Structure 1
């Protein structure tokens, strides 16, 4: 069985804001303590929509990675790298494009959705049509079995699973595969070999998913199998060929509850953001001037927290006692809107102070960031090269 591995990436779009922190980065910080993680700056993906204006991408990548480090992503726990510095992504994308039906790409839900949202751009390019395939290559090149996504991105993970299945079915039939698989079964020992055959039969004849799960668990526990034999037995168990590319699973993450300053989703296009590492004076001014419940025209007018964008910040940043104080004070006009905003200002400033402190060494010495990324690119590339050796071999392109 391939090792557990988490992969996630982010397009470089400039400075990150609190929506990115609460929607993605907090989850990354949690995951890096639980699994081997690879986090990458998806600079090639930025070109799928900004191919006509790529000049700002490089600066945005470095700024974004400093924001990751400020948020608590730890290079001692996670591999941080840049997509384009690992050219194997492009090679796998190219090779998979040879066997990916065009209709599969056109059916990806975000394809038409993004075309409509970005109707001012000419997106009639192969790069835009093929970006889901590049996303799949990003995942499959590392044999990542866990991809943290929101519900709207689940179709991308399923698309990647289908591609891995198609690839393994087309190219995983090595000469003498069945004979090699049967020889590998003998290496399990008589008792485990019997169980393996039983679980394989249960799954292939009856579609029994439990049989499949038990068969995989048995192979995970087997100590005396080579990597090649283990992969063959996974494929033989499922009725496919040798498993070359791993079908990833989705780690469903909660949608960010972080609203913008106007109560809409926080987005630079709406101009309603608080940036990570924002200057304290700017941050304070933004929150102090936030719109509140329109019913509170005067200080003496009672309000309703549920109709106030500031309340959504309290839901994220305040404890129960503060939220109770806000609810009672707002509804009775016992507190004013400026008073209500102060605990939010204090909490966000405290969070940002820690981020600024973590970021400062990298701002003082940018070579530290470049060193972290260079090391991460080397580690990522070694993993990618292992996969590509097997992919080329399976497709008859090894030329040994």
Structure 2
């Protein structure tokens, strides 16, 4: 089997052609970002570049290979590598801000690196010293980490038919996964498997090695260029050093779950920000006042001013709770993580995820009410904001975030520890 298999029937010609022709560039050392402030500054500069062409990439499903290389070169993908290992050691509040900034420019492009940071948090939680040194050095050397997500053909997301077997030839990985955001652009593809003892492990395969097939069959109506499709593993050779015991989550409190969820919330905040800013621009430049208003311009319409004020308030509230969640994780990470502190991180991030989900959906819907029927023209492609919000906010159900918070506040029940909490 060879990497980068053919497309499914639901794909565009542009997306499939790129997937067949492109491979991740060979890694090379990335720029070493000095501190948190520089990381945010670089994110702003990249966002300006990525905003150009974002609408057309969505419209044509043109995968952002060059943009991802630019992102990697910038050093942003390595900002959470600890200073002790040569990295920036940036805080999680900074990480949330970086993702929000990038996703306000292009949320599909901004989502692609998400799993790298979730995986790095997992390495920090349960990796051995040798594993940490190896992974951090590889990230600083320009390796990108993708993901091969849950299986599609099982009744529960927690059920895995993907197997890591010890054979006479060494460890071998076999299985089929989906929701593999970033895999098409990655050098390493981590995935969940079950070992010979029936334990859950995370296993890293190299994207170009024999037995790895990446199928560009992501065909959702939103987040269209994340290439979050299928990865197939067939007797793939795995290095023992690249096997991580995720079953340890049960007994060892950590922050990988809250960090992963913080990034999801930041992506939604970016989508909301983009929709809000486009709504303001359209009202200022194109919208006409309603015939009964007696006004000469839409920007003086009191009903529009009321809606804009409400959206601005909700957006700023969601942003601040997001940043506060990042600060909470930073404070917890500064000391040994306990079951209680891990739970506090999960609750803080759940609060942010609720608010960012709500404002992403509201802002992307309200845009059309404020801007009027002209905003629905396909040439403007403003529906991409709602499509992106609707698809990405389904990453994990907000109703269960509300349940998590209520159960913690009322009954003192600590959230289950996994990547969705």
Fold shared by both chains (TM-score > 0.5) = no
TM-score of the superposition, structure 2-length normalised?
0.25
TM-score of the superposition, structure 1-length normalised?
0.26
Tell which structure's C-alpha radius of gyration is larger.
Answer: 1
Give the structure with the larger strand fraction.
2
Give the structure with the larger helix fraction.
1
